[in-house]
Every structure is written in structure tokens, then in C-alpha cells.
Amino acid sequence: MNIDGKLTAKNLRAELAVEVAELKSNYGIQPKLTVILVGEDPASQVYVRNKIKQTQEIGMISDEIKLPADTGQEELLKYLEHLNNDRNIHGILVQLPLPKHIDESVIIAAINPNKDVDGFHAMNSGRLFNGETGALVPCTPQGCIMLAKQHLGSDLSGKHAVVIGRSNIVGKPVAMLLLQENCTVTIAHSRTKNLPEVCQQADILVAAVGIAEFVKADWVKEGATVIDVGINRISTEEGKTKLVGDVDFDNVVGKCGAITPVPGGVGPMTIACLLKNTITAAKQSVC
């Protein structure tokens, strides 16, 4: 069975549009997201375009600052200082990856944590780690939890969740969120021994490794809920390209209880959760 991320994201955006309208009429606030794109990476350009478009579709304001690939780190920091101090901007997102000469960790640390709608700043990851309220939580992990609950219901207590991947963007934060949901959590990664056996334990299997069709059917427990975070472009036999996830979908779909397809699973949820974070940041700016 497929978990429909496209529909879930659409429903979430409809709820968020109502919240935006209420914020406007009750408080005179229109949430605003500013996205910075450095360079001309084609995939990043598509992501940023979609973020801007969907922000505007639910009644929020968004703008894009496009900078050339040779923009210096200091110059980028100056832009951030300006955006941090602009009271009309509630959310700031610097699209990653950045060109090699810019240190991503310096840039992430320079974003005002209250406007860090990616949830990558140490203040937000620390709040998440500590289980504190008020954290802006990374978007893809939030989407993963929503999709797992879509199939399993709101109570994930006691389930064994195995996360493959330990990135700051997905693996670590999704593990923290699963722990908050009272799951027993295993974080597996490239050095994990007996990875297939570890994955076979999972009631919830989150694949975030970035390797096309890496997770095979015999790694998956019968009836497990599989959340596929991968977005990999591969060549087909007909000489075309297609998007696939980190899970060998065609063989796993018949074995698991439910799976998020690629495309149409986790991907659409990421942007919807970015919109949600921007609204949260706007609300927190007045409370």
C-alpha cells in the first residue's frame, strides 16, 4: 500500500492557508519567507522555485535572493545580518548545498534561530534534542513522522524504528522525533554491521542514505511501514532518466505494510512543513 504524500501535503497546505488568513485578519501579520540561492545548481533552482510558488499559493509572502556562485562568505553573512534584522521577514532559508568556498556551518550558525525555518541552527537542534517546546524542527523529518502516522495512527509508542542515515538534515532529527513518539530507535549508517538484519527488526524503516534502491525486500519485515527519503536520478534502459528512492520499491511494496513512493511521498511533505515552520516563526514573533 502506498502512503500518499502528495495528498497529505495538499491537505496540510489547505489547513495552513486557513491559519495564514486568520493571522492576517486577527493580527495583521502576513508571514514572509526569504530564500537565498547561491549559484545555479539546476536541482536547487527547481526546489527554490517550488518553495516560493507554494508559499505564495497559501497567501504568504516570499522572495528570492539570487546570488552568483562566486559570492564570498562575508558577503553572504552581510545579507543574513540584514534579513535577521528585518522585522517583516519571519523565515530565512539558505538553499543547500552552497558552493565549496563557503562554510555551510558558519552560514547556518549566522541565521537568527527564531527565523531558521530549516531548523538547522544548533539552537533548534538543541531544543529538539532536549525535547523542549518552541523548536523549529527540520522539515523533511517532520514530514516523515506525519506520513508514518498517516498509516499507523497517532500512537507510535513502543514501535522499533530503524533509521538508515545520520545526517543533520534527516537522520539525526528524524531519530529524535521518533524517540519523542516513544519509539525504540536504532540509527544505522554506512559502517553498521549486518545492516539487513538490523533493518529486519524495524516496524518503521526510514531510509535516508542517498543510494538508489539500496534497501532490498529481504531487509524488510513483513508488514513494516517504510518511509523512503531518497531522491536519486538514475538512467533507464531506454536511455531516459527517472527518479527513484533509497528503497527498491517494486520488490518491497508487496512485502511491507505501507511505503512512501518516490516521487509523491516524502518530497511534497518537505515544502508543506517549510510553510508550517514559517507560520510558526511568524506566530512566535508576536507572542
Residues in 80-139 at the binding interface with ligand GUN, rule: CB under 6 A: 93-96, 118, 139
Taking the complex as a whole, how short is the minimal distance between the CB of residue 181 and ligand GUN, in angstroms? 21
- Verify whether residue 51 is a known catalytic residue: yes
* 110 vs 202, beta carbon nearer ligand GUN: 110
* 270 vs 280, beta carbon nearer ligand GUN: 270
Select which of 118, 203, 228, 248 is catalytic: 118
The SS3 call for residue 271 is helix
- Verify whether residue 95 is a known catalytic residue: yes
Taking the complex as a whole, how short is the minimal distance between the CB of residue 218 and ligand GUN, in angstroms? 30
* 31 vs 143, beta carbon nearer ligand GUN: 143
Residue nearest to ligand GUN (CB): 96
Residues in 256-275 at the binding interface with ligand GUN, rule: CB under 6 A: 270
Taking the complex as a whole, how short is the minimal distance between the CB of residue 168 and ligand GUN, in angstroms? 11
59: exposed, middle or buried (Cβ count in 10 Å: 0-12, 13-18, 19+): middle
- Torsion angle defined by CA atoms of residues 68, 64, 134 and 10, in that order, rounded to the nearest 10 degrees: -130
Question: In the chain, where does DSSP find H-type helix?
Answer: 5-27, 42-57, 73-85, 104-110, 122-130, 139-152, 171-180, 195-200, 249-252, 266-286
> What CA–CA distance (Å, rounded) separates 169 from 116?
13
Select which of 51, 115, 159, 276 is catalytic: 51
Size of the site for ligand GUN (CB under 6 A): 8
Which grid coordinates are listed for 184? Answer: 525504540
Are 234 and 212 in contact, with CB atoms under 8 Å apart?
Answer: yes
- Verify whether residue 149 is a known catalytic residue: no
* 120 vs 219, beta carbon nearer ligand GUN: 120
Residues in 3-62 at the binding interface with ligand GUN, rule: CB under 6 A: none
Q: What DSSP element (H or E) covers 61?
A: strand 61-67
Residues in 171-210 at the binding interface with ligand GUN, rule: CB under 6 A: none
Distances (CA, A) of 34 to 42, 95, 127, 215: 19, 11, 23, 36
Pairing type for strands 225-228 and 258-259 reads parallel
Select which of 32, 54, 95, 172 is catalytic: 95
Taking the complex as a whole, how short is the minimal distance between the CB of residue 94 and ligand GUN, in angstroms? 6
The binding site for ligand GUN (CB under 6 A) comprises 93-96, 118, 139-140, 270
Q: Residues with catalytic annotation? A: 51, 95, 118
